């Protein structure tokens, strides 16, 4: 990659001889040697020499040769018209792209056209709509160490700007994980592993340096040291702003729309670290994009606008921890849920809202065209309608939203007066400003119009004057206006006609008066076009002055959209209003959910079985057992998602939920459940576990799913037991622990505040059926053999396995009791009697007799017996589907070889 950057060596060798254009290219490459320079030549962006090869390869376009007086160069060009798709590929390949545009009209120069870098495009500084995803923010982050660790996060395309800091790298890492930045820049001394899962771009250390950073922040915000809490934050903010300026290349693009910076403390929100965000599948994350999996945000996404869509993610990734703020949101959701008409009207109007955050950012940077202003005006038109639809709301939240829905009449009227209804896309060629907006413009357009009218009439008057019926008046771009007379009529041409052009069968003329009129039209038109551009820039800049108000309006619209969305979802999927109280409120202790559902799984499952949850001081830890596929993981995630939804301000999929605030959710999903994520080592598992044990408190909810899988059974059990005891005795966290280590149920029984739950399974003729119903107590059969039967393992094999199991546990094979023990009847570790359940209640026959119409012999000695032994020893509860299939294949192969 490096060799493609910087000026091409080949040109360096003959630097003195380069043609002026190549010299310009060389210089720009030298100046922007960290980027790939795309050099405008007419309708193309070109790259030369090594860079051309890179571009051709990455973008899959043809490499050509160019020859000039100084030699031959490889060249690759991408069409400007759809440059974005190619630039996207270059970014994906890890390049920064410096776009060098022609900044001079080729007609205005005889020499080489001036070019300048107008944009440096990097993953975190995108502003081009074509390169951006409307549904998510595109964040650039800076991390700085300055005493503490500071973190600044900026979306240049929307103006969203946040800063925070912490003493420990973990907290900053968690915050980064929430923002999921597209690009990160780091100052000196930033621990590498803090940012190693992101695209890290090199940037000058000086930008992070204290006084430089303070000065930079000061250019945008008054009193940086009061706005921001720590030097580390100032350093990060200064650097992020410097990088944003760097990205605008050599232009003077204004960035003063970046006038709103939110400084926050991570402790103001429920903490969800990257591991939790991922395992709870809240939304698609950049790191796992293309997963295409159903997510919570996907289910909830009834938003009407791009503003609302991004805000929804924001609310989910930052659930609140202030009970009053939460209940304010719930009030609004409830009111909107109950008022279908209002809700639907609001939704319809919100659909007419453009992405004004990004509009305002373009307006602020001076990159908006007249259509953008019209879109802004169309959005402002919606505001009174929204206010009317809201009517006179009951709750405080909706009243305040109504109050804050300011239609910004000045801006709206200005745009409406100035900008044409359906303006041109270009802003330098007229067709964008209403003539009535400006007296001079009106006069110029009038002159233009009367001139054109006169010319329109000319054909008739000249035909009359000359008597030539075929005489035509026309216009072409090279010669301008002309009067055309066919050769047959040349004798009737009057004296004042001057020849302009000769055609095959006709002559073209002009008259002094036509010429005069034409000049007048051109003068007026050119001046009017220029004037329109000037006026447009003035209007745009006036609108930009209101960017703080516009951004505040965008925030209100986003908030309203999410509340309407929550209300719609609550009505559509029958969610109920949760009660959420602070830790000091005696009204609720712990987590109490009646008939809770998993919001995402219930959408895909024909019949979802609701389950209850009760965790409180008496029972803070619940150990959940049940065979594979019985619903353990789903259940645990469902509890976490209900808590997140509730604290984000949404209603929840449950009949009733009474919740004490949770300030942090920890999740740890056992190694083999997480293979898709590519993190399957025992080490990762233990590192994350250590983090949980370090940080879990009484306000935390901890989900442990099959922890201890990554190692041997004995180790795994030992770790699981120790962890359970610690969480129970020391941390006091609300904990759900799903495990296949059946023995762990004994541990729960021995602890005061721990309890056992298990998933019911039912026996039918077809084998085990998962009822997904959680029950107090423990099921002591592992059901492994029954799962094998359900999976379709040869019946004789299954039958034999039952016998072996029965032999081993001393349980007669005919015994059909459901292996259920209730809490209290403690069985110590390792003593748990195994039981096999009968199939469909049919008593089992003697070993080796026929079952299900299949005749099978006694398991033969030798080879065959090994198979049974192997199956018996297989720990189905911990196997991956692939391992199970491999085992099955082995069995089949061996059975075949016996025939």
Nearer to Mg ion, 646 or 774 (CB): 774
Stretch near ligand ADP under the rule CB under 6 A, chosen from 83-91, 291-299, 335-343, 629-637: 629-637
CB of 772 to ligand ADP, least distance (A): 3
Q: How far is the CA of 309 from the CAs of 300, 486, 513, 563, in angstroms?
A: 10, 65, 61, 11
- The whole-angstrom separation of Cα 884 and Cα 878 is 10
- The whole-angstrom separation of Cα 273 and Cα 275 is 5
**Binding-site partner at residue 772 among ligand ADP, Mg ion, none, CB < 5 to 8 Å by type:** ligand ADP
Binding site for Mg ion (CB under 5 A): 633
Enumerate the β-bridge partners of residue 71: 68
CB of 731 to Mg ion, least distance (A): 23
CB of 614 to ligand ADP, least distance (A): 17
Nearer to ligand ADP, 454 or 608 (CB): 608
Residue number with the shortest CB distance to Mg ion? 633
- Nearest to 245, CA basis, from 117, 352, 406: 117
Binder among 122, 148, 345, 633 for ligand ADP (CB under 6 A): 633
**Binding-site partner at residue 369 among ligand ADP, Mg ion, none, CB < 5 to 8 Å by type:** none
The single-letter DSSP state of residue 56 is H
Task: Tell me phi and psi for residue 618, to 5 degrees.
Answer: -70, -35
> How many amino acids of this chain bind ligand ADP (CB under 6 A)?
13
Nearer to ligand ADP, 554 or 609 (CB): 609
Q: Vertex 263, ends 260 and 267: CA angle to 5°?
A: 145
Using the Cα atoms of residue 786, residue 787, residue 790 and residue 792 in order, give the sign of their dihedral.
negative
Are the CB atoms for 507 and 499 separated by under 8 Å?
yes
Q: Residue 771, SS3?
A: strand
Binding to ligand ADP (CB under 6 A) within 729-788 occurs at: 772
Stretch near ligand ADP under the rule CB under 6 A, chosen from 337-345, 539-547, 600-608, 683-691: 600-608
Binder among 628, 735, 745, 755 for ligand ADP (CB under 6 A): 628
Q: Which two tokens stand for residue 770?
A: 């998962």
Are the CB atoms for 815 and 859 separated by under 8 Å?
no
Nearer to ligand ADP, 722 or 769 (CB): 769
**Binding-site partner at residue 859 among Mg ion, ligand ADP, none, CB < 5 to 8 Å by type:** none
Q: Vertex 770, ends 895 and 593: CA angle to 5°?
A: 155
**Binding-site partner at residue 631 among Mg ion, ligand ADP, none, CB < 5 to 8 Å by type:** ligand ADP
CB of 821 to Mg ion, least distance (A): 22
CB of 275 to ligand ADP, least distance (A): 18
Binder among 44, 533, 608, 682 for ligand ADP (CB under 6 A): 608
CB of 601 to ligand ADP, least distance (A): 5
605 touching ligand ADP, by CB under 6 A: yes
Stretch near ligand ADP under the rule CB under 6 A, chosen from 100-108, 353-361, 382-390, 632-640: 632-640
Using the Cα atoms of residue 362, residue 364, residue 366 and residue 371 in order, give the sign of their dihedral.
positive
**Binding-site partner at residue 246 among ligand ADP, Mg ion, none, CB < 5 to 8 Å by type:** none
Stretch near ligand ADP under the rule CB under 6 A, chosen from 103-111, 504-512, 622-630, 694-702: 622-630
634 touching ligand ADP, by CB under 6 A: yes
Q: Are strands 820-821 and 480-486 parallel, antiparallel or unpaired?
A: unpaired
- Nearest to 248, CA basis, from 364, 372, 98, 130: 98
878 touching ligand ADP, by CB under 6 A: no
Binder among 194, 609, 659, 719 for ligand ADP (CB under 6 A): 609
Stretch near ligand ADP under the rule CB under 6 A, chosen from 280-288, 601-609, 642-650, 663-671: 601-609
Helices (H) and strands (E) in the chain, counts: 30, 28
CB of 299 to Mg ion, least distance (A): 20
CB of 783 to ligand ADP, least distance (A): 11
Nearer to ligand ADP, 83 or 609 (CB): 609
Q: Which residue shows structure tokens 């209300």?
A: 567
Q: How far is the CA of 83 from the CAs of 66, 272, 619, 879, in angstroms?
A: 21, 38, 61, 49
Stretch near ligand ADP under the rule CB under 6 A, chosen from 203-211, 621-629, 685-693, 882-890: 621-629
CB of 878 to ligand ADP, least distance (A): 11
Nearer to ligand ADP, 540 or 632 (CB): 632
Stretch near ligand ADP under the rule CB under 6 A, chosen from 301-309, 631-639, 827-835, 878-886: 631-639
CB of 669 to ligand ADP, least distance (A): 10
Are the CB atoms for 750 and 713 separated by under 8 Å?
no
CB of 683 to Mg ion, least distance (A): 21
- The whole-angstrom separation of Cα 440 and Cα 563 is 48
**Binding-site partner at residue 626 among Mg ion, ligand ADP, none, CB < 5 to 8 Å by type:** ligand ADP
Interaction pattern, residues 543-582, with ligand ADP; x per rule: CB under 6 A: ----------------------------------------
Q: How far is the CA of 638 from the CAs of 612, 633, 836, in angstroms?
A: 11, 8, 31
Binding to ligand ADP (CB under 6 A) within 45-104 occurs at: none
Burial (CB count within 10 angstroms: exposed 0-12, middle 13-18, buried 19+), residue 521: buried
- The whole-angstrom separation of Cα 731 and Cα 708 is 19
Stretch near ligand ADP under the rule CB under 6 A, chosen from 45-53, 554-562, 628-636, 724-732: 628-636
Cα atoms found within 13 Å of the Cα of residue 20, Cβ hemisphere only: 6
CB of 301 to Mg ion, least distance (A): 26
- Nearest to 574, CA basis, from 386, 406, 337: 337
Nearer to ligand ADP, 633 or 778 (CB): 633
- The whole-angstrom separation of Cα 441 and Cα 649 is 53
CB of 739 to Mg ion, least distance (A): 10
**Binding-site partner at residue 634 among ligand ADP, Mg ion, none, CB < 5 to 8 Å by type:** ligand ADP
Cα atoms found within 13 Å of the Cα of residue 450, Cβ hemisphere only: 7
Nearer to Mg ion, 633 or 756 (CB): 633
CB of 611 to ligand ADP, least distance (A): 6
Determine the distance from the C-alpha atom of residue 329 to the mean position of all C-alpha atoms in its chain, rounded to a whole number.
24
653 touching ligand ADP, by CB under 6 A: no
CB of 605 to ligand ADP, least distance (A): 5
Nearer to Mg ion, 47 or 779 (CB): 779
Contacts of 638 (CB under 8 A, 6+ apart): 596, 597, 598, 599, 601, 611, 653
Query: What number of residues does the chain have?
Result: 899
**Binding-site partner at residue 605 among ligand ADP, Mg ion, none, CB < 5 to 8 Å by type:** ligand ADP
Q: Which residue shows structure tokens 């960035």?
A: 255
Q: Which two tokens stand for residue 187?
A: 């100052």
Q: Which two tokens stand for residue 313?
A: 């993610």
629 touching ligand ADP, by CB under 6 A: yes
Burial (CB count within 10 angstroms: exposed 0-12, middle 13-18, buried 19+), residue 615: buried
Nearer to ligand ADP, 155 or 743 (CB): 743
Q: How far is the CA of 873 from the CAs of 49, 235, 795, in angstroms?
A: 64, 59, 18
- The whole-angstrom separation of Cα 632 and Cα 740 is 10
CB of 145 to ligand ADP, least distance (A): 41
Phi-psi region of 430 (alpha: psi -120 to 50; beta: other; left: phi over 0): left
Q: Which residue shows structure tokens 């997904």?
A: 772
Question: Contact positions toward ligand ADP, by CB under 6 A?
Answer: 601, 605, 608-609, 626, 628-634, 772
């Amino acid at each position: 990659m490096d060799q493609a950057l910087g000026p091409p060596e080949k040109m360096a060798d003959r630097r003195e001889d380069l043609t002026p254009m190549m010299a310009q290219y060389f210089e720009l490459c030298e100046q922007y040697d960290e980027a790939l320079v795309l050099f405008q030549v007419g309708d193309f962006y070109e790259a030369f020499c090594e860079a051309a090869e890179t571009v051709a390869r990455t973008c899959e376009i043809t490499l050509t040769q160019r020859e000039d007086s100084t030699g031959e160069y490889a060249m690759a060009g991408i069409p400007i018209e759809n440059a974005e798709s190619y630039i996207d590929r270059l970014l994906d390949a890890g390049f920064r792209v410096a776009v060098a545009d022609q900044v001079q009209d080729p007609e205005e120069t005889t020499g080489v056209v001036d070019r300048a870098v107008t944009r440096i495009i990097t993953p975190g500084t995108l502003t081009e709509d074509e390169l951006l995803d409307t549904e998510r923010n595109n964040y650039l982050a800076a991390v700085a160490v300055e005493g503490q660790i500071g973190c600044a996060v900026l979306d240049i395309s929307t103006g969203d700007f946040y800063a925070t800091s912490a003493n420990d790298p973990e907290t900053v890492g968690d915050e980064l994980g929430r923002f999921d930045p597209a690009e990160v820049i780091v100052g000196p001394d930033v621990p590498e592993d803090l940012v190693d899962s992101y695209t890290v771009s090199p940037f000058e250390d000086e930008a992070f340096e204290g006084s430089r950073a303070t000065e930079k922040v000061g250019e945008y915000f008054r009193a940086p040291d009061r706005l921001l809490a720590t030097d580390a934050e100032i350093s990060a903010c200064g650097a992020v702003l410097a990088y944003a300026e760097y990205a605008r290349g050599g232009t003077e693009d204004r960035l003063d729309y970046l006038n709103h910076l939110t400084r926050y403390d991570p402790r103001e929100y429920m903490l969800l670290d990257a591991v939790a965000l991922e395992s709870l599948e809240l939304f698609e994350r950049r790191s796992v994009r293309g997963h295409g999996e159903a997510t919570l945000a996907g289910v909830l996404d009834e938003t009407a606008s791009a503003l609302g869509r991004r805000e929804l993610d924001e609310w989910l990734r930052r659930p609140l921890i202030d009970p009053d703020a939460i209940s304010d949101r719930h009030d609004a959701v409830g009111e909107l849920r109950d008022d279908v008409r209002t809700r639907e009207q609001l939704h319809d109007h919100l659909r007419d809202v453009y992405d004004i955050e990004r509009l305002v950012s373009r307006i602020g940077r001076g990159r908006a065209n007249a259509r953008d202003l019209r879109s802004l005006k169309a959005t402002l038109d919606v505001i009174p309608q929204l206010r009317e639809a809201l009517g006179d709301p009951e709750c405080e939240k909706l009243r305040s939203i109504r109050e804050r829905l300011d239609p910004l009449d000045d801006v709206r009227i200005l745009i409406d007066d100035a900008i044409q209804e359906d303006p041109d896309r270009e802003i330098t060629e007229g067709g964008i400003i209403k003539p009535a907006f400006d007296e001079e413009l009106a006069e110029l357009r009038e002159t233009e119009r009367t001139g054109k009218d006169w010319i329109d009439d000319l054909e008739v008057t000249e035909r009359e004057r000359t008597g030539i019926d075929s005489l035509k008046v026309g216009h072409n771009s090279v010669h301008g206006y002309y009067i055309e007379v066919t050769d047959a009529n040349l004798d009737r041409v009057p004296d004042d006609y001057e020849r302009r052009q000769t055609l095959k069968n006709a002559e073209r003329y002009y008259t002094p008066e036509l010429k005069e009129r034409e000049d007048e039209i051109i003068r007026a038109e050119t001046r009017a076009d220029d004037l329109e551009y000037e006026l447009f820039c003035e209007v745009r800049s006036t609108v930009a002055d209101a960017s703080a108000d516009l951004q505040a309006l965008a925030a209100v619209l986003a908030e309203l959209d999410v509340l309407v969305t929550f209300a719609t979802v609550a009505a559509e999927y029958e969610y109920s209003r949760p009660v959420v109280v602070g830790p000091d409120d005696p009204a609720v202790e712990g987590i109490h959910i009646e008939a809770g559902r998993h919001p995402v799984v219930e959408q895909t499952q024909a019949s979802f079985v609701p389950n209850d949850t009760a965790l409180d001081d008496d029972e803070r830890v619940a150990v959940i057992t049940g065979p594979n596929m019985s619903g353990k993981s789903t259940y645990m995630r469902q509890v976490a998602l209900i808590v997140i939804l509730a604290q984000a301000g949404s209603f929840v999929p449950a009949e009733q939920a009474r919740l004490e605030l949770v300030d942090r959710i920890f999740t740890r999903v056992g190694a083999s459940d997480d293979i898709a994520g590519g993190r399957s080592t025992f080490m990762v598992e233990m590192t994350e576990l250590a983090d949980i044990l370090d940080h879990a408190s009484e306000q935390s909810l901890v989900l442990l799913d099959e922890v201890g899988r990554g190692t041997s059974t004995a180790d795994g059990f030992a770790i699981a037991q120790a962890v359970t005891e610690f969480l129970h005795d020391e941390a006091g966290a609300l904990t759900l622990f799903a495990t296949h280590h059946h023995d762990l149920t004994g541990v729960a029984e021995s602890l005061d505040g721990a309890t056992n739950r298990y998933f019911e399974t039912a026996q039918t003729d077809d084998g085990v059926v998962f009822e997904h119903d959680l029950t107090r107590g423990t099921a002591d059969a592992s059901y492994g053999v029954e799962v094998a039967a359900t999976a379709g393992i040869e019946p004789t094999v299954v039958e034999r396995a039952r016998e072996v199991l029965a032999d081993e546990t001393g349980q007669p094979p005919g015994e059909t009791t459901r292996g259920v023990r209730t809490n209290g009847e403690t069985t110590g570790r390792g003593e748990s009697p195994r039981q096999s359940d009968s199939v469909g209640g049919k008593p089992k026959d003697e070993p080796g007799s026929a079952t299900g119409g299949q005749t099978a012999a006694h398991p033969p000695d030798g080879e065959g017996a090994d198979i049974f032994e192997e199956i018996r020893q297989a720990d189905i509860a911990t196997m991956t589907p692939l391992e199970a299939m491999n085992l099955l294949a082995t069995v089949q192969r061996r059975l075949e070889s016996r025939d």
